[in-house]
Amino acid sequence: MRDDDVPRWSDEKAVLEYVSNQIAGWPLIRAFSAGEEKAVEAALRGEPEQLAALIRQPDQQLAPSTLALVAEFLTGERNLTTGRLKGEPGRPRMSEERLRASKAVHEAAEQFFIIREVLKRDYPGQSKADIRDRAMLLVEELTGVLQKTLANYLDLPKKRRRLPYRILGYEEYW
């Protein structure tokens, strides 16, 4: 670099033009471009389509971590549907208390079983279907959970329904 080619510092336009000419053609190394970062985040959520589109673009400089991620997907080290590494555990199960606090249907189911037992005890002449329907109606009025929502929850297999049997000790379904 010669001193006579360098423009004076006070001439901003000349300095900008000079620097632009000096760096023309230099490869720029960036950790992530905005599109690349979004594609990586989507791929890690289990949506690798954006990452595939990014790879197909010609003259695309990608960060080494992005290329490593693509290699993990191609070799099968990562699950394409979830974006997780194979064998990587998922979210841990929620505790019984947090689960019940997060969804009103769990508390409604617990109240349903209690109300149903009270109705069975106090109205022995009523059929099981009538007692069930009345218990559903009372639970809807008490908790605001729709009867259909509660019925759908109670229709789940016992393995997927994590409540009230352990709490109340009831083993029968209805």
Q: What is the pLDDT of residues 42-90, one digit of tens each?
A: 888 888 888 888 888 766 788 888 888 888 888 888 888 888 888 878 7
Distance CA 14, CA 19 (A): 9
Q: Would residue 14 count as lying in a domain? A: yes
What band does 167 get if pLDDT is binned at 50, 70 and 90? very low
pLDDT band, residue 146 (cuts 50/70/90): very high
Q: What angle do CA 126, 164, 133 make, to 5 degrees?
A: 25
The parent domain of residue 164 ranges over 96-168
pLDDT at res. 20: 76
Classify residue 174: in a domain, yes or no.
Answer: no
pLDDT of the residue at 10: 80
pTM over 0.85: no
Q: How confident is the model at residue 120 (pLDDT cuts 50, 70, 90)?
A: confident
CB 47 within 8 A of CB 84: no
Q: Are 73 and 149 in a shared domain?
A: no
Assigned domain for 129 exists = yes
φ, ψ of residue 85 to 5 degrees: the values are -65, 145
Residue 1 has a CB neighbour count (10 Å cut-off) of 5
What is the reported pLDDT for 165?
46
Q: Looking at the structure, tell me whether residues 61 and 112 fall in a common domain.
A: no
Q: Where are the alpha helices (DSSP H) in the chain?
A: 12-23, 34-44, 49-56, 64-75, 96-102, 104-122, 128-143, 147-154, 165-168
Stretch 157-173: mean pLDDT: 51
